[in-house]
Amino acid sequence: MPGKNLSREEAQQRAGVLAVDGYLVRLDVTSAPDPAAATFRSTTTVTFRCSQPGTGTFLDLLAPAVRSVTLNGRELDPATAYDGARVHIDGLAAENVLTVEADCAYSRTGEGLHRFVDPADGETYLYTHYEPADARRVFANFEQPDLKAPFTFTVTAPAAWDVRSNAVHESVRTEGDARTWEFAPTTPISTYLTAVVAGPYHVVNDHYSRELPDGTALEIPLAALCRQSLAPHFDAEEILGVTKLGLDFFHETFDYPYPFGKYDQAFVPEYNIGAMENPGCVTFKEEFVFRSKVTDAAYESRANVVLHEMAHMWFGDLVTPRWWDDLWLKESFADFMGSYALIGARTRYSSAWVTFANQRKAWAYRQDQFPTTHPITADIRDLEDAKLNFDGITYAKGASVLKQLVAYVGAEAFFEGARRYFKRHAFGNTELADLLGVLEETSGRDLKSWAASWLQTAGVNALTPQVTTDAEGRITELAVLQDGDVLRPHRIAVGLYDRDADGALLCTERIELDVTGARTVVAEAVGRRRPDLVLLNDEDLTYCKIRFDAESLETLRTGLGDIRDELARALAWSAVWNLTRDGLMPARDYVALVLRFAGQEGNIGVLQSLHAQSKTAVDLYAAPEWRAEGARKLADGALHELRAAVPGSDHQLAWARFLARTAGGAEHLGLVRGLLAGSARIDGLEVDQELRWSLWLALAAAGQATDEELAGELASDNTAGGKREYTQCLAARPTPEAKAAAWSAVIDSDELPSALVEANSAGFAIPAQRDLTALYAAPYFKLLERVWAERTIEIAMRIVGGFFPIAQTDEQTLAEADVWLDGHPQAAPALRRLVLERRDDLARALRAQACDRA
């Protein structure tokens, strides 16, 4: 497969003949502060063995220029050896030394070595991000996860900078205005896990100590980093506190000492993802450094990500999937362990499984109902496939299935299997069979059929209760109906809920059982009085959509907020949202539930999900003729709850932000402007910088923010975050000129980083402005292949997803999508997948509208 892609077959062939002994990588980034300097010097020396002497192979490299290639002392002509993506070498010996010297490019897309200039103080910052295959943008290498090797990095940078990599630095020497950092060799790791972070970062140091079972001491230096201009907002002590709790928990649970020496955590700008598990040098998006007040849900989310990445030190870094087919072997486990450890490590976030049920699984359910869904163990043909498989299946569905597996085999058997897995495969690569083997050993269960049902098939089951009663209202039969393309074994709990004397809905009986096949009878329920609510999958043990019988659904319509248990309540909210998305509950009925009960919702994360989902219900799922009324109801509800919320509470802040998202009428927009000007006040509500931008966005989208006002706000918040918010505000203005400018900024130029691509697309595609953006639907479909060919995959994915005309929600746009798909069968599979998924979102919206209209 030519070009920048790499096929699974090519990787298997290369791994079949090569073994890599080590890399020495020298980077010179002293040019980074000069905005005119586009490249940096990269020199790689790799030692490797070949089991078939005389054969040829290739290294991966994406660089503007290659200066020299030397194999075993023999000079190769770069003009013929390098084709723009690969360095071809032949005549290999049994033992080889190859040196490649290249000029590699600084990145503005978050792929490779990203360069960022802080608008607040002009300082330059660098960091790397590689997964799945962008280390080749920084140094020549064999870019596949199963050719692990030790890496030794040497980095020359401006003398005032701090430089970090995976290992500790062994020496630092200064020569004039430059300083060279020499790092110790790493343990064997994959190329995509190597890292360099360089710049005048603010650093907070700490230390972790632990006595190991053999009586020796484990000492782990800790550090947390952010940009200097963010230092006043950096709560490093909170982050490092969670880090220490996590290290305690994982050592106790995994019984394998942390294997990578130090533990740095760098919060970096314009990051494309939430975080990356580079061993010894974890990188996070700097939005986790909170510049303004956020709700406790944001702190929980950050703590979850800290623990997710820490779990990767074992699941992914110590033991790594052989190829991207088994990406779930690290991501599903880390996603599961992030929530599991929040509770197991005794953090203050005791509602982690509520968040998981309400948010992570919503992502999985959506992804798993696309026509492009795939098994958890996916068929990954090449790197483009791999890039798109960092999705809700690999993360959230996989984590949900692991939660089901823990219930199926028992927690002790599960974690004993993990302990054996680490010891047996340390610093190596694995496949599905390796994990199943140890779990079968520890549990005594044959997991092959379980794996075939859960890991090797796609789709989500729906479970529905079927209740029959006698004349006295007693249950004569309670059955669980399962539907779906594949019927799976489910370990579930059935919760029977009744109202108490105060009207609260409480679980009065809980029955745990295995559901198999299309119909399973719950024998223990026979003879019991018919409950007010039958809640399947109580405690959220399995992965499924839950439905309700008619009586239970009526109970929810009149009393969803009366469910006292927050996990059970979250499951009910999740279920009615799935009914809405599936066109089984009118969008206006879902909105009515939110308006009636969201004010009672105690869990702040669930409340924020309800805000987002009810906005989607109005924008996309409601019948067009009801949208205006629905939007007005949401804004009125937000205003009412804002005024009723406890002053200074998280709920007050959440309702204020929701008001900003829904404001449209004169009363709402008048309050928004008054809050910005200081002429209006809500007791306890601090209108800080982040909230100010939310309020300005509301005014901009309503056409009530002038250029001068927005520029003035940017001047007072001349930061990376401020620039992103300002860009979105400009794109959100309801004028043809604003839409044309946002479109052109992204489509006609490749200068924008991904953060500003997203800001432009978010402002451009406001659903209420669909009349303004309708004329861009046809140009969108015409430019898809050009964008995919000319942009990096990271930027192309954002353009394809962000500018798809989903807001049009009409049959014509659906037909245009179908015409493109039918007319481009040979388009890149990854591009077709993105378009298919957005097309499916549009078709789902049309079905939901039909339900709402009916």
- Cα(276)–Cα(313) distance, integer angstroms: 11
Residues ≥6 apart with Cβ < 8 Å to 59: 46, 86, 87, 89, 98, 100, 140, 141, 142
| H or E segment and range at residue 515 | strand 505-515
- In the numeric block, the tokens 């963010």 are attached to 230
Asked, as a colleague might, if the bond just before 465 is cis with ω within 30 of 0, I would say no
Torsion sign, CA atoms 750, 751, 755, 758:
negative
CA nearest to 185, candidates 163, 170, 173, 200 = 170
- 3-state helix/strand/coil string of 15-78: HHHEEEEEEEEEEECCCCCCCCCCEEEEEEEEEEEECCCCCCEEEECCCCEEEEEEECCEEECH
101, 111, 143, 309: the catalytic one is 309
- Cα(407)–Cα(754) distance, integer angstroms: 40
Residues ≥6 apart with Cβ < 8 Å to 260: 166, 167, 186, 187, 279, 280, 313, 317
Question: With contact defined as beta carbons under 8 Å apart, do 341 and 307 qualify?
Answer: yes
Question: With contact defined as beta carbons under 8 Å apart, do 128 and 273 qualify?
Answer: no
What DSSP string runs through 665-722? SHHHHHHHHHHHHTSS--TT----HHHHHHHHHHHHHTT---HHHHHHHHHHT-SHHH
The total number of residues shown for the chain amounts to 854
Question: With contact defined as beta carbons under 8 Å apart, do 835 and 797 qualify?
Answer: no
The residues facing 163 across adjacent strands are 198
Which backbone phi and psi does 341 adopt, to 5 degrees? -75, -30
**What are the tokens at 652?**
């007050």
Q: Examine the residue annotation and report whether 509 is marked as an active-site residue of this protein.
A: no
**What are the tokens at 21?**
């002994």
- Provide the CA 741 distance to its chain's centre, in angstroms: 29
- In the numeric block, the tokens 């597996």 are attached to 405
Question: With contact defined as beta carbons under 8 Å apart, do 805 and 773 qualify?
Answer: yes
| H or E segment and range at residue 819 | helix 811-823
Provide the terminal-to-terminal Cα distance of the chain, rounded to the nearest Å.
Answer: 51
- In the numeric block, the tokens 């198999």 are attached to 516
Instruction: Show which residues are catalytic.
Output: 309
